[in-house]
């Protein structure tokens, strides 16, 4: 609810100033008209926002939480409970603080007679557009239970895929971090001690040892400068990536990378197909569904192509024709969409091809990770071997010289 300040004219002609609480400006005017026939001015009251930071609250609603929430809505609505009561119960049971806060805010709106989708759109800025629009379509078509069931399937699949990739990435990332720390300690602490000892013997050091000493001296003298540079670069990359221009640029770069580009292409195809299937199953027209997907895709370059395809759809083209010039979506996906449209089974075709590309993305990720582990081992072996050789060659030389 929002608070509005107004100035109106009462039936006796006197001026009236007051405030009213309403969902939007139109409802506020309707309430004022019940006592005052003329509304001269109305504007929302600006309230001071207190910044309450809860470090335990997640930054966004996870796929796991969305799947669980959709499942709870499906079960409770099927049992015949009222929408306002369902929201209250799910809010009480939710362990996700962000979802709990969103649902509590929605409960009063829905109890006042407003739609769940509209309330989610107002209060749930961190809930994906696919979730909100599927709920909206379900409310408009009277198939809300089916809409939540489809959302449960969609987000359960997304959660499992993301969890598998995250689990596979954990080991190489930990190994890489530990290796970087160990090598940094060796270069900054151990190597200077060893080189001081070697230089104390007064013998001529080999080139590989001199190179190691130069590298060690550089890191020891400039580590804080390097830290500042890398921190600044990281902040710039992160900040630029938050802008629309940055998201578009990064997505295009990712699509062109040798191995990761293939994974990104498969993920984009899977997300496009699965999202479209979910929205179409909820009863949305193809044009509206494509517009929503174009705005929520992780790969913005694909979203830009889908956005251009929306205009082609509105001009009378089929979905397959509108997407045929795509640079980033796989040709097989577009061909299957064309087949699905021709057969009148577009939704089922999208689900099938979406699952196919989900599996392909997972397989490609597994292959990339399988190659990553030996590559990390080889790189670390080369670095460690260089350090060992640089330190021990002069020792062996001195030992051989002493024995002569």
Q: CB under 8 Å to 119, separation ≥6 — which residues?
A: 105, 106, 109, 110
What's the rounded Cα separation, in Å, for the pair 81 and 117?
A: 18
Taking only the tens place, the pLDDT of each residue in 33-51 is: 888 888 888 888 765 444 4
Q: SS3 for 44?
A: strand
| CATH number for 282 | 1.20.81.30
Query: What is the structure's pLDDT at 51?
Result: 40
pLDDT exceeds 60 at position 182:
yes
Domain boundary among 103, 130, 156: 156
Q: 36 and 96 in one domain?
A: no
Query: What is the structure's pLDDT at 403?
Result: 43
CB of 144 closer than 8 Å to CB of 115: no
Taking only the tens place, the pLDDT of each residue in 271-311 is: 899 889 988 888 888 998 898 888 888 889 999 999 999 99
Asked if the structure places residue 91 within a domain, the reply is yes
pLDDT exceeds 80 at position 226:
yes
Q: SS3 for 308?
A: helix
Q: What number of residues does the chain have?
A: 404
How many helices and strands in the chain, by DSSP H and E?
Answer: 16, 3
DSSP string over 1-18? -EEEEEEEE-TTS-EEEE
Task: Map tokens 């929605």 to a residue.
Answer: 106
Take residue 341 and report the two structure tokens written for it.
């449209």
Please indicate whether residue 335 or residue 208 has the higher confidence score (pLDDT): 335
Q: 146 and 71 in one domain?
A: yes
What's the rounded Cα separation, in Å, for the pair 169 and 227?
A: 25
What's the rounded Cα separation, in Å, for the pair 281 and 350?
A: 11
Helical H segments across 124-190, by residue range: 129-141, 144-185
Q: 357 and 261 in one domain?
A: yes
Asked if the structure places residue 328 within a domain, the reply is yes
Q: 147 and 94 in one domain?
A: yes
Q: 117 and 36 in one domain?
A: no
Which of the listed ranges 109-118, 123-132, 160-169, 327-336 does the model predict with the highest average pLDDT? 327-336
Q: 88 and 133 in one domain?
A: yes
Percent of the chain topping pLDDT 90: 20
Q: CB under 8 Å to 11, separation ≥6 — which residues?
A: 36, 37
Phi, psi dihedrals of residue 36, rounded to the nearest 5°: -130, 120
Q: 82 and 34 in one domain?
A: no
Asked if the structure places residue 216 within a domain, the reply is no
Q: 285 and 354 in one domain?
A: yes
23: pLDDT confidence band, cut at 50, 70 and 90?
low
Which whole-number Å values give the CA distances from 21 to 3, 15, 109, 165, in the listed order?
4, 20, 12, 47
Asked if the structure places residue 277 within a domain, the reply is yes
| Structural domain total, the chain | 3
Query: What is the structure's pLDDT at 74?
Result: 92
Taking only the tens place, the pLDDT of each residue in 52-77 is: 445 455 667 888 999 999 999 999 99
Helix axes 129-141, 286-296, angle to 10 degrees: 160
Nearest alpha carbon to residue 394 among 259, 199, 216: 199
What's the rounded Cα separation, in Å, for the pair 87 and 76?
A: 10
pLDDT exceeds 90 at position 140:
no
User: Range of 135's domain?
Assistant: 63-156
CB of 23 closer than 8 Å to CB of 121: no
Query: What is the structure's pLDDT at 229?
Result: 92
Q: 68 and 39 in one domain?
A: no
Q: 39 and 70 in one domain?
A: no
Domain boundary among 135, 156, 177: 156
């Amino acid at each position: 609810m929002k608070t509005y300040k107004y100035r109106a004219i009462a039936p006796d002609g006197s001026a009236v100033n007051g405030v009213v609480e309403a969902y939007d400006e139109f409802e506020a005017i309707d309430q004022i008209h019940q006592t005052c026939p003329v509304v001269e001015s109305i504007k929302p009251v600006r309230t001071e926002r207190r910044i309450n930071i809860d470090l335990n609250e997640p930054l966004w609603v996870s796929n796991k939480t969305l799947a669980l929430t959709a499942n709870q809505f499906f079960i409770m609505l099927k049992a015949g409970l009222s929408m306002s009561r369902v929201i209250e119960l799910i809010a009480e049971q939710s362990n996700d603080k962000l979802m709990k806060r969103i649902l509590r805010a929605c409960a009063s709106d829905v109890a006042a007679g407003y739609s769940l989708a509209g309330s989610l759109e107002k209060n749930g800025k961190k809930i994906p557009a696919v979730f909100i629009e599927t709920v909206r379509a379900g409310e408009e078509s009277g198939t809300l239970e089916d809409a939540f069931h489809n959302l449960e399937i969609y987000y359960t699949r997304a959660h499992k895929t993301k969890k598998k990739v995250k689990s596979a990435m954990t080991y190489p990332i930990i190994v890489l971090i530990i290796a970087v720390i160990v090598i940094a300690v060796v270069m900054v602490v151990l190597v200077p001690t060893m080189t001081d000892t070697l230089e104390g013997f007064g013998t001529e050091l080999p080139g590989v040892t001199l190179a190691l000493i130069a590298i060690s001296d550089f890191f020891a003298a400039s580590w804080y400068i390097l830290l500042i540079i890398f921190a600044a670069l990281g902040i710039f990359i992160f900040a630029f990536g938050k802008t629309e221009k940055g998201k578009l640029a990064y997505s295009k770069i990712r699509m062109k990378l040798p191995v990761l580009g293939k994974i990104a292409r498969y993920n984009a195809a899977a997300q496009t197909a699965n999202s479209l299937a979910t929205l179409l199953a909820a009863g949305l027209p193809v044009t509206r569904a494509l517009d929503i997907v174009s705005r929520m895709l992780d790969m913005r370059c694909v979203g830009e192509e889908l956005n251009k395809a929306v205009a082609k759809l509105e001009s009378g083209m089929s979905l397959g024709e509108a997407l045929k010039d795509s640079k980033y979506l796989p040709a097989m996906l577009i061909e299957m969409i064309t087949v699905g449209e021709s057969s009148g089974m577009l939704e089922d075709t999208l689900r099938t091809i979406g699952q196919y590309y989900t599996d392909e993305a997972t397989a490609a990720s597994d292959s990339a990770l399988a190659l990553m582990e030996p590559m990390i081992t080889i790189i670390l072996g080369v670095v460690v071997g260089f350090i060992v050789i640089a330190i021990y060659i002069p020792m062996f030389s001195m030992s051989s010289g002493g024995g002569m």
